[in-house]
Amino acid sequence: MNNILKLLIILAIVVLIVGLIISQGRDKASVKEGVTSSSEKISTNKDSSDVMAKNLPVLIDLGRGTCVPCKMMLPILQQLQEEYKGRAIIKIIDIRYDPEPARVYKIRLIPTQIFFDATGKEIYRHEGFMDKISIEQKLKEIGVK
């Protein structure tokens, strides 16, 4: 009986571990798809200057697909990417897959939104969830029509 109990416990642990691995793989794939399929990625200062060279205001959102505010912001940011196409660049960076920008931009908290004017100068930085209306107001303030 004692051996059966041990075997059941080991089996339960293995099932739990396999379940966690599978769920993380699904989460990683869905978040990565949501971020990379609809946005260019800024990963270094060089890439950042390439984006700034387009002479458009830029919003960079740095977060992780696992945090609740980041998950809430993803559809908002994807919608804004479409609405502001040609007028502003909206970048979504998942720092799980690309941690370098978190270091480059000295991120202390996620999500963090950084607004740059068309010359590449940082104008405003916000930490935490930011709703669509607030983002649109800030884009308007930095010159997006």
Spatial CB neighbours of 142, under 8 Å, sequence gap ≥ 6: 57, 115, 116, 117, 123, 124
Nearest to 105 by CA among 118, 119, 91: 91
pLDDT of residue 20: 66
Rounded distance, CA 63 to CA 3, Å?
Answer: 46
What is the H or E stretch that residue 62 is in? Answer: strand 58-63
Give pLDDT, residue 129. Answer: 97
**Is 88 exposed, middle or buried (CB count within 10 Å of its CB: 0-12, 13-18, 19+)?**
buried
The residues facing 116 across adjacent strands are 58, 122
Instruction: Provide the sign of the torsion angle of the four alpha carbons 105, 89, 30, 111, taken in this order.
Output: positive
> Which pLDDT score, from 0 to 100, does residue 23 have?
62
Do the beta carbons of residue 113 and residue 80 sit within 8 Å?
A: no
CA of 9: how far to CAs of 4, 18, 78, in Å? Answer: 9, 14, 44
Architecture of domain 35-141: 3-Layer(aba) Sandwich (3.40)
User: Which residues are the active-site residues?
Assistant: 67, 70
Both tokens assigned to 65: 């697909």
Reading the block at residue 100, the tokens are 């370098």
Domains of the chain by residue range: 35-141
pLDDT tens for the chain, 145 residues long, are 688 888 778 877 877 777 667 766 554 444 444 443 333 333 344 444 445 557 899 999 999 999 999 999 999 999 999 999 999 999 999 999 999 999 999 999 999 999 999 999 999 999 999 999 999 999 999 989 8
DSSP track, 4-22: HHHHHHHHHHHHHHHHHHH
